[in-house]
Amino acid sequence: MQDRIYRVYISSTAAPATPEHTAILHGVLASHSMPVCPALWDLGQEAQSIPANDCSDDWVCRKALINSCDYLLFAGNACYGERSSTGVSIQHQELTYALMRDKPVFCVLLAEEALSQSGASSEELGRVRALRALLKRHKPVFWRQTDTLPETIISGFPAFLTDHPATGWSKVKPRITIDTAIARETVNNLTIQPQVACEAAIDSSDNDSVSCEHFDWLQQHQEFSVQCHVFIHGNCHRVEQNVSLTWADVYEAFRLSLTPSCSEDRIQQSLSAMLEARFSQQILSQHSQAHAADAFRFSETAMRMIRLKLRRHGLVRKDTRASSRKNNVWCLTGAGKAAGHWIGRTSAG
């Protein structure tokens, strides 16, 4: 059994609560992964649902869910998917967004012979086949009947994980010292902790020894190079420009996901959300014919400067045991916690 659990966003052309959609969820769960989709909403909010349309709030919610996941599973049948106002299906949009965010995509598609016998209209099949042609490079696996769909996912997903490693969530046993039958039974049940615990995190009592004067630099302004996508008449244009932020703004977004550690991918997502909230209207006002701006991110030069600055001031450190060549894992230090408290008091003042 794998020692990690992965969050997998389910983008399926099957309607929620149908046998096909349920089979997909069972396949993901049986693969020791955590299914995430609008029908379930996010962890801690499963009882909620979000509207199945293409309004801006709905799309923001879908993007947030995709951003929070390690992988996207695209499950296709003989249906192109629920159409948005532009004629492009919601599932097609989710796939495009995941690829733009460099999320690995695991494709489970209805076999061609079953597709031909589905009874779907020629127009619908044309759209489906055009989308399937785009997915060939993702090495899809194929299913033929709903009852075999979970097994198709279970058999194909492990090899996909090997080819596309992610940080995921580690499965560890809780430390229990009480020698009782209940305690022993609890130990036998695995619990989930995000990322790898930062064992060297300094106790909160150490925060009192950090002088507030050490954090004055957080109020300084700095110019950063930022990139984003601007959509004009349906065409996507890449834009890069300099913006001014305080180091407190940057650090608050950087540490948002550190509880007490997380991968750099998720930190990038938090930084991107901050940039989009701050500068999307400014970017749109500079391009009169633009109707949307998306995919905000710091340039690699700016990210190097941010990492170096925060490490030099002792607010974060790299977890070398949990980091890999492809993805770094960062930990919040005691000084980093104190800096967060200092920013809170300064903002309140």
> Is the domain of 283 the same as that of 344?
yes
pLDDT at 173: 53
Same domain, 153 and 232: no
Amino acid at residue number 234: G
Residues 259, 209 within the same domain: yes
318 domain residue, yes or no:
yes
Element (H, E) at 342: helix 334-348
Q: What is the SS3 assignment for 280? A: helix
pLDDT of residue 295: 87
CA 39 to chain centre: 17
Residue 292: its pLDDT value, please? Answer: 81
Cα separation, 6 vs 36, whole angstroms = 10
Task: Give the CA-trace dihedral at 155, 161, 164, 169, to 10 degrees.
Answer: 150
Do 38 and 94 lie in a common domain? yes
Q: Does 149 share its domain with 239?
A: no
Q: Look up tokens 């609560």; give the residue.
A: 17
- pLDDT, residue 27, reads 94
Looking at the predicted structure, is the pLDDT value of residue 294 above 90?
Answer: no
User: Do 13 and 109 share a domain, yes or no?
Assistant: yes
**Residues 104 and 29 both lie in one domain:** yes
The residue that leads in pLDDT, 85 or 12, is 12
Summarize pLDDT for 162-196 with one digit per residue, the tens: 899 887 776 655 554 444 444 444 444 434 343 33
Mean pLDDT lowest among 81-90, 295-304, 333-342: 81-90
Give the pLDDT of residue 284.
86
Could you give the residue ranges of the DSSP H alpha helices within 227-333?
Answer: 247-255, 264-286, 300-312
Q: Are the CB atoms for 332 and 267 separated by under 8 Å?
A: no
pLDDT of residue 201: 37
Report pLDDT for 207: 42
Residue 158 sits in the same domain as residue 211 = no
Say yes or no to pLDDT of 50 above 70: no
- Residue 178 within a domain: no
| Domains identified in the chain, total number | 2
In terms of domains, do 157 and 239 share one? no
Distance (Å, rounded) from C-alpha 125 to C-alpha 119? 9
Looking at residue 79, its pLDDT comes to: 93
Q: What is the pLDDT of residue 288?
A: 79
Residue-level pLDDT at 184: 47
- pTM for the structure as a whole: 0.51
35 falls within a domain: yes
Render pLDDT for 109-164 as a digit per residue (tens, 0 to 9).
Answer: 999 999 989 899 998 999 999 999 989 889 999 999 999 999 999 999 999 998 99
> In the chain, where do the E strands start and end?
4-5, 7-12, 34-36, 71-76, 105-110, 141-143, 169-172, 191-194, 221-232, 235-246, 261-263, 290-298, 316-318, 329-332
Q: pLDDT value at position 348?
A: 64
- Residue 237: the pLDDT is 85
User: Which stretches within 105-192 are classed as H helix?
Assistant: 112-116, 122-134, 149-163, 181-188
* Mean residue pLDDT across the chain: 81
End position of a domain, from candidates 111, 143, 163: 163
Q: Does any domain span residue 85? A: yes
- Rounded to 10 deg, the angle between the 264-286 and 56-67 helix axes is 150
Express as a percent the part of the chain with pLDDT over 90: 40
Among 285, 281, 259, CA closest to 270: 259
Same domain, 11 and 108: yes
User: What band does 41 get if pLDDT is binned at 50, 70 and 90?
Assistant: low
Domain holding 41, by residue range, is 4-163
Same domain, 111 and 218: no
Collapsed DSSP state (helix, strand, coil) of residue 205: helix
Instruction: Classify residue 182 as exposed, middle or buried by CB count within 10 Å of its CB (0-12, 13-18, 19+).
Output: exposed
Token pair recorded at residue 206: 């150490």
Selection from 153, 133, 134 nearest residue 142 by Cα = 153
Within a domain: residue 212?
A: yes
Query: Which CATH number covers residue 286?
Result: 1.10.10
Instruction: Give the CATH number, domain containing residue 45.
Output: 3.40.50
Q: Are 41 and 16 in contact (CB under 8 A)?
A: no
Note whether 110 and 145 are within 8 A (CB): no
Which of 82-86, 139-143, 185-189, 267-271 bottoms out in mean pLDDT, i.e. has the lowest? 185-189
235 and 140 share a domain?
Answer: no
Read off the DSSP letter of residue 37.
B
277 has pLDDT over 70: yes
Task: Check residues 178 and 338 and name the one with the higher pLDDT.
Answer: 338
